[in-house]
Structure 1
Amino acid sequence: MSTHGTSNVTSGMIGGAITGIVLGMVLVILSIGFDWSGFVGGLAFGAGVGIALVGAFFWGLAVGLRRAGRPMWRPSADSAE
């Protein structure tokens, strides 16, 4: 797997994650600002928080995938002698 292709995939994932976080927070702010109550208010608030959390998860996943592509020193790979 080439590093260039991985970078494009992770950049797209981070862009999608940021979009999800922003949309989730906008939904939360709208549900609070318009004082939606009852089932619809709880649904909007919960959906907004859920979308933001899924976006944060995918952001972390993309960062982890991006870092995994770099060669790193590992103590177990070093010779003991």
Structure 2
Amino acid sequence: MNQSNRIFDNLGRMMNEAAGMADGVRREVETIVKSQAQRIISDMELVKREDFDALRELVQVQGEEIDALRKELAELKGKGTPSA
């Protein structure tokens, strides 16, 4: 009976060690995958969301300014022609 308890104790300890090693391997693989993904994304030269949003807002403001200038130009052209 004592012999079988030792066997089960050893088996349980080995299973705990194997689970710990598997968890360590899992964490190492996650670290490697994250590192590779970050490298790939960096190589793609993607634009950050904040930069994209700032540029989009700037383009929208400039578009509104262009529309206002077009209206002003049209009004000036209208006033410059002699009325009949």
* TM-score, L = length of structure 2: 0.42
Kindly name which structure, 1 or 2, has the bigger radius of gyration based on alpha carbons.
2
Q: 1 or 2, which has the higher helix percentage?
A: 2
